[in-house]
Structure 1
Amino acid sequence: SKFQVQLPNPNQSNSVGVRGTIGYIAPEYGFGSDVSTDGDVYSYGILLLEMMTAKKPTDKIFQGGLNLHDFARMAAPENIADIVDPLLLTEVEHNETGQKSEQCPMQQCLISIIKVGVACSMESPQDRMDISKVVTELLRIKEILNQN
């Protein structure tokens, strides 16, 4: 049996289409922008928000112009407990009166992670957090958690 390899013709263009799930791909890809690290940052931000809220960007509540980014942005930081996955909130410390403390380290870390997710998922690529700053901020959050 013979095998044959066909190399691409150098005179033909070979374009790779952007594939992904609605809600995770950067908005600029819908306008024909090239694949970029800015788009990856957007997707990472949406993934962070999904992990923190237990909501998918395609959930039914995100209709009529509301999306996961805006949902998280509008809640942070005052109403963070309303949007965070309840399983994550079971770790939040309580103050002496038994009420949730807005200043406890775990609560502050949840707020910080959601802020990173929001900063990564800004609509405009120029407004998104740089990936090196994302790493720095997440390492800072990890240090706070490790101290407590």
Structure 2
Amino acid sequence: MSTKISKLGDVYSFGILLLEMITGKAPTDSMFKDNFTIHQLVKTKLPERVTDIIDPSLLQEVQEAENSKARNMGKGVGVLESLLAVAEVGVVCSMESPSERMEMKEVAAKLYAIRDKLLHR
């Protein structure tokens, strides 16, 4: 957003990267015009409509994981919940105002917690 390099700018970039990974869309995608951004797309869909913005290939993996979970009598992971949590981290990291963004240490802690919950550690 500016020419000044900062840690909070790196957090913003990391947040956009997370949103790209979840949606499968680049911030330069043709759907993002007239000041509509990848951040706004994800933010407006969370949490109720998260499946609307998940990359279709990831969504297929979610469905396969949920089917596997059902076959294992409820053991397993909450893949959709984990993707939602990662998307929420991406949104907070990519807030327009740097003061609203998390510090990278907190981002890492949240992502580790999501991973651990997913893997039941």
- With normalisation by structure 1, the TM-score equals 0.70
Task: Pick 1 or 2: higher relative contact order, CA cutoff 8 A, min separation 6.
Answer: 2
Q: In structure 1, list runs of 5 or more residues that go unmatched.
A: 1-26, 97-103
Matched, 1:63 2:36: no
Of structures 1 and 2, the larger Rg is shown by: 1
Runs of 4+ aligned residues of structure 1 deviating over 4 Å after TM superposition are: none
**Once the 2 structures are TM-superposed, how far is the Cα of residue 91 of structure 1 from its aligned partner?**
2.6
Q: 1:99 aligns to what?
A: none
Report the identity percentage.
Answer: 42
The structure with the largest helix share of the pair is 2
Q: Which amino acid aligns with 1:60?
A: S
**Once the 2 structures are TM-superposed, how far is the Cα of residue 130 of structure 1 from its aligned partner?**
1.3
Aligned residues: 111
Q: 1:86 aligns to what?
A: 56
**Once the 2 structures are TM-superposed, how far is the Cα of residue 78 of structure 1 from its aligned partner?**
0.6
**Once the 2 structures are TM-superposed, how far is the Cα of residue 132 of structure 1 from its aligned partner?**
1.0
- Distance in structure 2 (CA, Å) of the matches to 1:141 and 1:111: 10
- For each residue in 1:51-103, what CA deviation from the matched residue of structure 2 results, as whole angstroms up to 9, or x when unmatched? 0100000000001121000000001111110100111112321598xxxxxxx
Q: In structure 2, list runs of 5 or more residues that go unmatched.
A: 71-76
C-alpha RMSD of the superposition = 1.8
